Homo-oligomer: A and B are copies of this chain.
Amino acid sequence: MLLAVGSVALDSVETPFGARQDALGGSATYFAAAASLLAKVSVVGVVGDDFDLEELDFLRRRGVSLEGLSRVPGRTFRWKGRYGYDLNTAQTLDTQLNVFERFEPRLDARARTADRVFLGNIDPELQLRVLEQVERPKLVAADTMNYWISSKREKLLELLPRVDVLMVNDAEARQLAGESNVMKAAAAIEKMGARAVCIKRGEYGALLVSGSEAFFAPAFPLTGVVDPTGAGDSFAGGFLGLIDRVGGRDLPALRQAVVMGCTIASFTVESFSLDRLRDLSLPEVRARFESFRKLTEHEALHASIA
């Protein structure tokens, strides 16, 4: 079973292709929508009393356990952002932690036995507190961001040795490592204790570095990117969902997991909010995964060329 801790949020997003107000969002939501196509998922998080829990019915129908999601008095976490034609970078206009401000993750007996854990992009102190409650996780993946890297660096460095795969974007990897070259940054983060580093590069795909091994998956070339919100979290969901499904954590499994992450993220960005993920089916995912293979496949050089 896969445990995800992170935000369940209401997002207001503007892109060149439209806008949405208070639409379903949040790292745990995107993660669970993606991962539940492949594995059993439990969500730990909090929403306010302005949140309509029926919005999550589609997750329940996919077997996601929301036992760990509490609903408390107050307003739900809200994020407001804008993307220009360069859909790679979001401009954050407003972040309201609201009920998340006093969030105290408490895992029930079942959540404590999780096999694999995704620590969504929240305060590293909370990430640590969740991890302490999980008895014997086989694999831990964590996301973080510039804000925590600068304001909670100590706690983040305490977390890293307990993380198998740190998932960050180019800029975050550079900032955390203090190193502009992405490969050197990944090596530096491994020295800080993370077993592997997965660098998300938006429309350019994702790179996994583990020791002397590197693996690269392109983003699926799409003609209709509408809203990149949630791409990173649904990438993580596809990644951990596949690992949980196949049970391994060797390099071939990690490689497949990166491609699965890119595959599901490529659906996410085709619509606003979780619209495309709501009724996404595994056969659709499988077909695009196969196209991914074709996208990078090429033959070895003929022996005469040497």
Contact = CB atoms under 8 A, between A and B. Distances in A.
Interface of A: 38, 85, 180-184, 187, 201, 203-205, 207, 209, 214-218, 221-225, 242, 245-246, 252, 255-256, 258-259, 282-283, 286, 289-290, 293, 295-302, 305-306
Contacts of A207: 218, 221
A297 B255 contact: yes
Given A215-B295, A215-B298, A246-B302, 12 more contacts: A183-B221, A184-B223, A207-B221, A216-B295, A245-B305, A252-B298, A256-B299, A256-B301, A282-B305, A282-B306, A283-B306, A296-B297
B218 A259 contact: no
A296 B299 contact: no
A203 to B, nearest CB: 8
A301 B283 contact: no
Contacts of A187: 223
A63 B187 CA distance: 41
Contacts of A181: 222-225
Contacts of A302: 246
Contacts of A306: 282-283, 286
Nearest to A303: B286
A219 to B, nearest CB: 9
Contacts of A299: 252, 255-256
12 contacts: A38-B305, A181-B225, A183-B222, A184-B223, A187-B223, A215-B296, A216-B221, A218-B218, A252-B298, A256-B298, A289-B301, A293-B298
Nearest to A85: B180
A278 B221 CA distance: 36
Given A201-B204, A286-B301, A218 B216 contact: yes
Nearest to A203: B182
B298 A259 contact: yes
A285 to B, nearest CB: 9
Contacts of A283: 306
Contacts of A222: 181, 183
B300 A293 contact: yes
A295 B214 contact: yes
Contacts of A295: 214-216
A204 B218 CA distance: 9
A239 to B, nearest CB: 13
A300 B214 CA distance: 19
Nearest to A224: B181
Contacts of A224: 181
A216 B296 contact: yes
Contacts of A293: 298, 300
Nearest to A289: B301
